Amino acid sequence: MLTEWLHISANSQLQPEKAKFSLMQIFVYVYYGIMFIYASDKQQVELLSQEEIDDLPSYVEFMDAIRTGKINLGDGKSQQQLGFIYLKMGVS
């Protein structure tokens, strides 16, 4: 949506703006990832293992589980899972 608003295309002269948008997107993923992991730490939740992190669902699947009530984001472990999902999106 923001891309459309900025009227950015592959042949546009706004390529530097597109690059800035991409970097901002990575920053947001990392920021939200750290914030959700920090929030889970305040509830004294044990850190997820690497296997649990590797097995996390996609962002869309996780949000769908929240929407259907399968996951409660008030739970510290769920917050940590979402945090790692954001971090994975930021580095991929």
What pLDDT, in 10s, does the model give residues 49-89? Answer: 999 999 999 999 999 999 999 999 999 999 999 999 999 99
Reported as a pLDDT band with limits 50, 70 and 90, residue 33 is very high
Residue 68 has what pLDDT?
96
pTM of the model: 0.80
Rounded CA gap, 92 and 33, in Å?
Answer: 13
Q: Where are the domains of the chain?
A: 32-92
User: Is residue 8 pLDDT above 70, yes or no?
Assistant: no
